C-alpha cells in the first residue's frame, strides 16, 4: 500500500482556524504574520507567539520548504512519514511527506506543497519531494 491510501481524519476547524481551513479548500497554505513585530508564524493564530500582539493576519505561503527532520511510521497499517518542514517563509510546521518512496526521504530535502483529502472535511496540507 502507498501512503496516499492512508485515511486522513478530518480537521475540526474552530473560530480561530476557520479562515486557514477555508483557504485549504482553495489549495492555499496560509501562515500568520504579525504586523507589530513582522515575524511569520505557523500555525496561524490571533495572538503573535513572539510579541503577543493581536495585530496578526494571514498571508499565503509559497508552498516550498525543506525537511528539518522526519520519522517513518512502519507499524501503522499503512506506513507513513511524519516530518517537520521549514517553509521558505521561515516557520517550521509538522506535516506528512507523501507520494514518494519512504526510504528515500532525507533531512534537508526540498519539498513542495500538496493537499490530501480528509474524511469529510477540508483538505490537509502535506508535502512531497520537489
In a domain, 43, yes or no: yes
pLDDT at 113 over 60: yes
pLDDT value of residue 40: 97
Residue 59 lies in a domain: yes
Q: Which residues, in sequence order, are bridge partners of residue 65?
A: 87, 111
Residue 130 cell numbers, joined:
520537489
Q: For a pLDDT cut of 70, what percent of the chain falls above it?
A: 97
Q: Which three cell numbers stand for residue 42?
A: 505557523
Q: How far apart are CA 88 and CA 62, in angstroms?
A: 7
| Residue 33 within any structural domain of the chain | yes
- CA dist 51 → 17, 20, 38, 120 (Å): 20, 21, 10, 36
The answer to whether residue 42 is domain-embedded is: yes
The CATH number given to whatever domain includes residue 71 is 2.40.50.840
- Tens of pLDDT, residues 56-97: 999 999 999 999 999 999 998 999 999 999 999 999 999 999
Q: Does 6 fall in a domain?
A: no
3-state secondary structure of 2: coil
DSSP state of 101: -
User: What range does the domain containing 100 cover?
Assistant: 13-129
pLDDT at 5 over 80: no
Task: Tell me how many domains the chain contains.
Answer: 1
pLDDT computed for residue 1 by the predictor:
37
- Which residues does residue 67 pair with via DSSP β-bridges, in sequence order? 85
Amino acid at each position: 500500500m502507498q501512503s496516499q491510501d492512508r485515511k486522513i481524519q478530518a480537521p475540526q476547524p474552530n473560530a480561530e482556524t476557520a479562515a486557514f481551513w477555508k483557504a485549504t479548500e482553495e489549495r492555499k497554505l496560509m501562515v500568520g504574520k504579525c504586523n507589530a513585530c513582522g515575524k511569520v508564524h505557523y500555525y496561524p493564530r490571533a495572538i503573535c507567539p513572539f510579541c503577543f500582539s493581536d495585530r496578526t493576519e494571514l498571508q499565503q505561503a509559497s508552498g516550498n520548504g525543506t525537511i528539518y527532520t522526519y520519522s517513518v511510521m512502519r507499524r501503522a497499517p499503512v506506513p507513513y512519514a511524519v516530518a517537520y518542514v521549514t517553509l521558505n517563509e521561515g516557520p517550521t510546521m509538522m506535516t506528512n511527506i507523501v507520494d514518494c518512496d519512504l526510504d528515500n526521504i532525507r533531512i534537508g530535502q526540498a519539498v513542495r506543497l500538496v493537499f490530501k483529502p480528509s474524511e469529510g472535511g477540508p483538505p490537509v496540507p502535506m508535502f512531497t519531494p520537489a
